[in-house]
Amino acid sequence: MPASTFTRARTRRRMLRATAALAVSPCLIGTPAVNATPSNANTPAPSTAPTNPPTATGQFEVKIGPPEPMVTPADAPAIGRRRLDKTYRGDLQGSALGEMVFAGQPQAGEAAYTALESFVGTLHGRSGGLALAHLGVMHAGGQEVRILIVPGSGTGELAGIQGELLLRIESGVHHYTLNYQFN
């Protein structure tokens, strides 16, 4: 890995950890925030994607359903799920429904969540759908969140799409930057 790519990746990881208080813990304990990235959300994660992929920006609203316990073995850690209902505005316009599964102790800064959401609408005027896969982990005061377009999930004019969605929260408003490409 070239030194500049390694340095950007290390800097991005440090910045993500610094946003721990804004991101996964509110999502797991019931406030409307889902996750966040630093305000320089246009910095893509190192990948095999082109250096300057197309970028879509905008805002979204999210409604998070109440926690529902899931069946676990006796004496095992509790896990739960929550429904997601989102409305996207900006370059990505449409709606998404999804489900989050979570475990851990977010109040203590030790937790994780995964989520899948299914979006339908338009991206820069192209109609279709795609799925997003989330992974968020909090540990020892740090946090990492990653949201990727599920490979092979693009439909309609979004068939063949791949990429990553970055989020930031400012004054309670969710902003997204979607770096994407078509294969």
H or E stretch at 18: helix 3-18
For 183, other C-beta atoms within 10 Å of its C-beta total 9
How wide is the angle at C-alpha 100 spanned by C-alphas 15 and 117, nearest 5°?
A: 90
Cβ–Cβ under 8 Å, residues 84 and 115: yes
Q: How far apart are CA 178 and CA 34, in angstroms?
A: 16
Burial string for 114-149 (b: 16+ CB within 10 Å, else e) reads ebbbbbebbbeeeebbbbbbbebbbeeeebbbbbbb
- pTM of the shown model: 0.73
> What is the C-alpha separation between 176 and 89, in angstroms, rounded?
10
Domain boundaries, the chain: 3-44+53-182
* The residue type at 149: I
In the chain, the N- to C-terminal Cα span, in Å, equals 23
Residues 6+ apart with CB under 8 A from 14: none
Q: What is the pLDDT along the chain (183 residues), one digit of tens a residue?
A: 444 433 333 333 333 333 333 333 344 333 333 444 443 444 445 555 456 889 999 999 999 999 999 999 999 999 999 999 999 999 999 999 999 999 999 889 999 999 999 999 999 999 999 999 999 999 998 888 899 999 999 999 999 999 999 998 899 999 999 999 999
Length of the chain: 183
The CATH class, in words, for 3-44+53-182 is: mainly beta
